[in-house]
Structure 1
Amino acid sequence: MKLAVVGGGSTYTPELVDGFARLRDTLPVEELVLVDPAAERLELVGGLARRIFAKQGHPGRIVTTDDVAAGVEGADAVLLQLRVGGQAARNQDETWPLECGCVGQETTGAGGLAKAMRTVPVVLDIAEQVRRSAPDAWIIDFTNPVGIVTRALLQAGHRAVGLCNVAIGFQRKFAQLLDVLPEQVHLDHVGLNHLTWERGVRLGGPNGEDLLPKLLAEHGDSIADDLHMPRQIVDRLGVVPSYYLRYFYAHDEVVRELGTKPSRAAQVAAMEKELLEMYGDPALDEKPALLAKRGGAFYSEAAVALASSLLRNTGDVQVVNTYNNGTLPFLADDAVIEVPATVDATGATPLPVPPLEPLFAGLVANVTAYEDLALEAALRGGRDRVFAALLAHPLIGQYEYAEGLTDRLIAHNREHFAWA
C-alpha cells in the first residue's frame, strides 16, 4: 500500500507518521511519500519520520520529493494538509479582519474566505495531477477550510472525503470522562465543518444509550472550560457545540480578546521554529511533547481509520465531510456536511440524522449559503463575488463591513489571485 502526503513538510507530519507506525496492523503502509516544495523543512521532517518508523520497527519505506506528480504516482490514497502562503498568510487572515471589528480566524469569517480563495485553486491543481498519476486513489482532505475544499474536490469529480479532528477529539474526551474505550463512544455529531454540535454521546453504536445528559450533569464545568464558554450556556443549549461556535455565540467578546494578544499564527510560527530545530536532532526518534500544542490532536488516528476504511472496505462508521445527499433536507444534495457516515471502498454514506432543531438549522443554512458564494469566489474570482460572500456570512452581514473587508482581503492576497 502506498500513501502520499501533500504538505508532508508540515510540522504536523510526525504526528501522522507516529500514527502510521503505531497502527500498522490497521493500515499496512509499505511506502509513504512526503511531498512538499520547502526542501529544507522536508529534509528535517523526513529524517525524523524515518527515525520514528525505525524505532517502532515499521518496515515501510519513506520517500521525500518536491514533485507532486512523481510523489502521488500509483498511490492508493493521497492526504492533503497544505497551507498556501504559510503562517505569514495565516497571520494576515487573523489580523486584518479585526480592523473592521470582525473576528480574525483562519477558517471562519473573512480570514476563512481568504484562505479558501488561496487554497481551492491549488488543491484542484494537485487533484488533477492525482487523477493523471493515480486515477484510483482516494483523496483525504485535511486542508482547511475542509468543507469548502472538499466540496470543490467533489464537484470536480474527484474521489475525495474531508476529515477534521474535532469529532475524534470529543470522542476521546468523552471516553475519558466515562472511563470507557474510545471505540465504544458514538457521537451524534452534526453540522458543517467547524460548525457542529454533539447532540448525543452513545455507548456501543448509533442506537446505544445516550449518556450526554449524564456527561453534562457530572462534567459540565470541564466541558464548558474546554470550549471557553459559560457552563450555563452549554446547559441551556443541551448539546456540546464545537469550540468554533464561540466565534458565533460570543463574537464581540472574541474580537476584544484577539485584539489584546499575539495572533495564533504568531504563536504557531514560534512553535514551528522550535519544532524544526528539534526535528534536526539525529537523536530524536519520536514525536516531541511540544507537538501536542501545535494542534491537530488525534489527527493520525482519524486519518488512519479513514484511509483503512476506504482502502480495505471495512464499512466502519466515522465522522467525515461528504455530500449531504438528503441527510439534512433543508440543504441541497451537493452541500458538504460533517456527520457520521459508513465508509467503505465506494466512499462515505451519511447515516440518517434526526431533524435538526431550528436554533442550529438556521445557522447551518446561513453558513452553507456563504460557502456556496465562497466557492464561487474561489473558482471564478472578482471583487463582486468576494463582497457577496462576505455580506452573506453571519459574522459580517453589513455592507459597510463587507466593503472594508473586501478591500483588505484583496490587498493582502493579490499575489495569490491571478484576477486581482
Structure 2
Amino acid sequence: MSRNALKIVTIGGGSSYTPELIEGYIKRSDQLPIKEIWLVDILEGKEKLEIVGAMARRMVKAANLDWDIHLTIDRCKALKDADFVSTQFRVGFLQSRIKDERIPNSYGMIGQETNGAGGIFKAFRSIPVILDIVKDMKELCPDAWLINFTNPSGMLTEAIVSYGHWNKVIGLCNVPVMAMISEPKLIEKTLDELTYKFAGLDHFHWHRVWDNTGKEMTLEIISKMYDGEDAGLPKNIFNVPFFREQLTQMKMIPCGYHRYYYRQEEMLKHGLEEYESEKGTRGQQVMKIEKELFELYKDPKLDYKPKQLSERGGAHYSDAACEAIASVYGNKKTQMVVSTVNNGAVPDLPNDQIVEVSSQIGASGAVPMVFGPFSPAERGWLQVMKNMELIIVQAAVTGDYGLALQAFILNPLIPSGQKAKDLLDEMLVANKKYLPQFSGKIKELLDAGVKVHDQVAANIDNTI
C-alpha cells in the first residue's frame, strides 16, 4: 500500500450515493493522502457516471484538493495497483429492485430489497459479479482492501471469503450507524458517553448499550422508543412498533429489518397497500427520488451533497466506507459494526462464518468483539437465517435450482408450498438477463410458458 499517494476505486461509481462518498473522503483528507479516485460503472450506467463524476470533481475543487477523479467503464484499468476498492453496485439497476418487490407482492408475499424472495434474488444477481471483481483484484491489486456495501452485504461478504478466498474484506451496513446516531438523544446522552455492542447478521442483528459508568441503558432506550421516537429507522422501512413485551423480555434492541419477521402480518399489509396504490413499491418511489437527485447533480453550481440524498434510504453507508478505509490505512482501531469472520464473537455460529458484529478496525482489518451466546429465541432465528444465507450463496455460485428452492422454502417470509416454487420460477424468468448461472433452468421454464404476470414488473426494463 502506498503511504503517500493512495489510489481508491469505487465500483458502482455512478450511484446516487457517490456524493456522500466523496464528502466522506474530503472530511478525512488529513487522514488519507489520496492521489486518485476512480469511479467505475458499466456502459448502461455511463450517463449517470458522467453526471456524478462531474459533481465529484466540483466537490473536490471546492475543497481545494488536488485529487484526480477518473471516470471509466474499464474495471481492469481502474483496479490496476489500487490500494482500496469499494463496491456499491446494483445489478439490473432499480428496475430489478422493482421486480424483487412487485412479483412477490403479486403472490401476496412480502417484496423487499434484502429480505424474502427479493433479497434472495438480489444475492443471486450480485454474488457472481462480486466474485468476478475479486478475481480481477487477485491479478491487478492483490494487496488492496475490499470495502463492500453492495447489498445483501453479509451474504456478499460470505461469498467473497468462502468462494472468492479473499480475506482482506470488510462488509458494511448503515443501519447500526443510524441507531448510534439517533438513540443517544433518546436518553440525553452523546455517543461518546455510551458503549454499543452489536451482533447477528447483516439486516438481522441485535444490540445492547451501556453508559460510561458500566450501567446498562438498553431497557431505558427501549422505554423511550415507545414515546413516539423511531430511533433511526431507515427511510425504506415502515414503522410498525415492535411488541414492547418482546423487547423487554429479550433485553436487546432489534434492527429495523426485524419488523419483517416480528411483525410480518402488519408489514405485509402495508407493502401490499403500496403495491396496489399509485404510490407504488419502495423501488418505484426511489426511482422518482433518484430522477430528482440526478437533475440536481447536473447543476454546474452544485458542489456539495444535497440534503435530498437523505430521502434515498441509505444515508451514512458511504461515510461508513470512508471511515473503514481511514481506519485500516491509519490503524486507528476505530470501533465499527461490520460483516466479518466470526472468530468466536458469536458462539452460536461456527467460527469461519460471516457475522455482523462490533469490531475494532485497524491495519489488520476487522477484529470482532465477543458478544456472547444468545437466548433460545434469538439463537433459533439467527441459526435459521444464517443457514438460509449459506444456501443462497451456494445456489448463487453453482446455479443449482434445487438449492434455490431450498432457500425459498426455508425463508420465513415465503410460505412453503407450490406458490413458493411458482414464485421462484417467475422470478428466474424475470431476471434471465442477470442470472447466467441459472440459464439452463430458465430456458426450460420459458419453454414451459412461464412468464411474469405483474405488468409493471414485466415492462420495467423498457424504462432504462
TM-score, normalised relative to structure 1: 0.94
Choose which of 401, 416, 420 in structure 1 pairs with 2:434: 416
Against the structure 1 CA distance between its residues 399 and 355, is the aligned structure 2 distance closer, same or farther, given a 3 Å change threshold? same
2:338 aligns with 320
1:157 aligns with 165
2:330 and 2:362 in contact (8 A); partners too: yes
2:333 and 2:360 in contact (8 A); partners too: yes
1:385 aligns with 403
Against the structure 1 CA distance between its residues 230 and 394, is the aligned structure 2 distance closer, same or farther, given a 3 Å change threshold? closer
Deviations for 1:232-272, whole angstroms, at most 9, x for unmatched residues? 35445432211100000111221121111111110111111
1:211 Cα deviation from its structure 2 partner: 2.1
Choose which of 349, 353, 357 in structure 2 pairs with 1:335: 353
1:313 Cα deviation from its structure 2 partner: 2.0
1:88-167 aligned within 5 A: 88-155=95-162, 156-158=164-166, 159-167=168-176
Q: Percent identity?
A: 35
2:242 and 2:263 in contact (8 A); partners too: no
Against the structure 1 CA distance between its residues 49 and 242, is the aligned structure 2 distance closer, same or farther, given a 3 Å change threshold? same
1:29 Cα deviation from its structure 2 partner: 2.4
The 3-state SS of whatever aligns with 2:81 is coil
1:384 and 1:163 map into 2 onto residues whose CA distance is: 30
Deviations for 1:169-191, whole angstroms, at most 9, x for unmatched residues? 11111233345443444322111
Please say if 1:6 is aligned against 2:11.
Answer: yes
Choose which of 202, 212, 225 in structure 1 pairs with 2:210: 202
1:5-404 aligned within 5 A: 5-37=10-42, 38-155=45-162, 156-158=164-166, 159-198=168-207, 200-203=208-211, 208-224=214-230, 226=233, 227-230=239-242, 232-233=244-245, 234-261=247-274, 262-396=280-414, 398-404=416-422
Against the structure 1 CA distance between its residues 217 and 249, is the aligned structure 2 distance closer, same or farther, given a 3 Å change threshold? closer
The 3-state SS of whatever aligns with 1:139 is strand
1:22 and 1:56 in contact (8 A); partners too: no
Deviations for 1:1-45, whole angstroms, at most 9, x for unmatched residues? 111100010001101111111222233322211111221111100
1:297 Cα deviation from its structure 2 partner: 1.6
Of 312-321 and 65-74, the range deviating more from structure 2: 312-321
1:183 and 1:23 map into 2 onto residues whose CA distance is: 19
Against the structure 1 CA distance between its residues 311 and 92, is the aligned structure 2 distance closer, same or farther, given a 3 Å change threshold? same
1:182 and 1:381 map into 2 onto residues whose CA distance is: 45
1:128 Cα deviation from its structure 2 partner: 1.2
The 3-state SS of whatever aligns with 1:343 is strand
The amino acid of 2:399's aligned partner reads G
Of 398-407 and 273-282, the range deviating more from structure 2: 398-407
2:450 aligns with none
1:220 and 1:231 in contact (8 A); partners too: no
The amino acid of 1:260's aligned partner reads E
1:78 and 1:138 in contact (8 A); partners too: yes
Against the structure 1 CA distance between its residues 202 and 174, is the aligned structure 2 distance closer, same or farther, given a 3 Å change threshold? same
The number of equivalent residue pairs is 417
The amino acid of 2:77's aligned partner reads A
1:219 Cα deviation from its structure 2 partner: 4.7
1:27 and 1:304 in contact (8 A); partners too: no
2:186 and 2:224 in contact (8 A); partners too: no
1:34 and 1:63 in contact (8 A); partners too: yes
The amino acid of 2:241's aligned partner reads M
Of 84-93 and 27-36, the range deviating more from structure 2: 27-36
1:345 Cα deviation from its structure 2 partner: 1.9
1:20 and 1:300 in contact (8 A); partners too: no
1:34 and 1:64 in contact (8 A); partners too: yes
2:277 aligns with none
1:322 Cα deviation from its structure 2 partner: 0.7
Against the structure 1 CA distance between its residues 173 and 28, is the aligned structure 2 distance closer, same or farther, given a 3 Å change threshold? farther
The amino acid of 1:194's aligned partner reads H
Unaligned runs of 5+ in 2: 1-5, 234-238, 275-279, 440-464
